[in-house]
Amino acid sequence: MNRFGVTLFLGVCSFVGGLIGMLIVRPGMPELWARSDELASALENRFERVARSVSPAVVALEAIKPTLEEGKTRSVDDSGSGSLIRFAGKPGLYVLTNYHVIGAAPPRLITINTADGRILKPTKVLADPESDIALLAIKEEPGFKPLPLGDSDKMRVGHWVLAIGSPFGLNQTVTHGIISARGRGQVSLGSTIRIKDFLQTDAAINPGSSGGPLVNLNGELIGVNTAIASPSKASAGVAFAIPSNLIKEIGLQLLEKGRVVRGYLGAQLAIGLDLNEALKMGLDKAQGALVDAVMPDSPAARAGLRRGDVILTLDDEPVLNDNQFINRISSLPPGRRVQMTIWRDRAKKTIEAIIGDWSGVRR
């Protein structure tokens, strides 16, 4: 037998031997297979129970909203999804959705289609474009079962989630996935969203899913599906949801004040801090917020902040990047005095600033 024949013979023997080994029932294997079947069935049943309990609270939305194109205002039709919710300690029932789904549409031009076929109009719209959150007040009706708001801080990478909405107009579509990452803010969504602290998921999200709930396996809303990262504008397994704890914070301010009060510093920040740039400045890591410009007569200007400074800490807490710094400043009340450690001329320096009110800034 030549060398090729020996090699072929040995290969065939190896394959046959492996196949026989797979067919041999080893001790304990039937029990392991049975246990695997039980676990798969339990997870399947859990998905089904959660989908069944959550779906009645999910609505489809249609809005005729004004938009500005080439200097002219015209009306466009848009659609999305939403969830029936309540806020603890507050009266009333609301549809939670994304601001970009309804835009500046008046209540009379917004249509809410419930899971059981009812057609509603909101009585009032409360919105915060900068976080892309909107609340539509609706009248109480028998049979409405709002979703409980969960604690998004308890969600960890790898936790199972379900997304429910109306992608491509297909109402009550359920997809599943996991939490892929937390605290995503360094993402460009091609929108005016300024407050970004997303949960990332690989649950399939498509046009029309916006505003729908992302729920955990307890049937609690832990996020609002908001955007996808995709060159084709269709699901590529990278989707972003506004976390429920931010929704609670924003929602309560909208209900109590009619608007969201945000802190303002007046420093324009570079998008990210490049490692090579950080090393050239004498920093040992690319962490912090790089100041790109300082607005005249702003809290930042009065504090002595300069272009080229890198903000390292805010009230002794590390600043990780520009997005995290923006979110932290925005969450502070106007009038609050803060201390910042900055990196300037290859040395650390401490400065103080008094937070201003973002609502008074011309935009």
Q: Which two tokens stand for residue 21?
A: 């080994």
The tokens of 199 are what?
Answer: 């949960």
Contact (Cβ atoms closer than 8 angstroms) between residue 286 and residue 273:
yes
Q: Is 284 a catalytic residue?
A: no
Catalytic site residue from 100, 131, 209, 322: 100
Nearest-CA neighbor of 235 among 196, 200, 207, 198? 207
Q: Which of 54, 47, 64 is nearest to 165 (CA)?
A: 54
Identity of residue 127 = A
DSSP 146: P
Q: What is the 3-state secondary structure (H, E, C) of 224-279?
A: EEEEECCCCCCCCCCEEEEEHHHHHHHHHHHHHHCCCCCEECCEEECCCCCHHHHH
Give whole-number Cα distances, 38 to 32, 45, 191, in Å: 10, 10, 45
Sequence letter at residue 202: D
Is 210 a catalytic site residue? yes
Q: Which one of 78, 132, 197, 322 is the catalytic residue?
A: 132
> Is 132 among the residues known to form the active site?
yes
- Helix, strand, or coil here: 9? helix
Please give the C-alpha separations between residue 188 and each of 27, 32, 103, 106, 297, in angstroms, as whole numbers: 54, 46, 20, 28, 29
- Identify the active-site residue in 166, 180, 209, 210: 210
What phi and psi values does residue 75 have, to the nearest 5 degrees? Answer: -95, 140
Q: Residues 150, 244: contact at Cβ < 8 Å?
A: yes
Are the C-beta atoms of 267 and 300 separated by less than 8 Å? Answer: yes
**What is the set of active-site residues?**
100, 132, 210
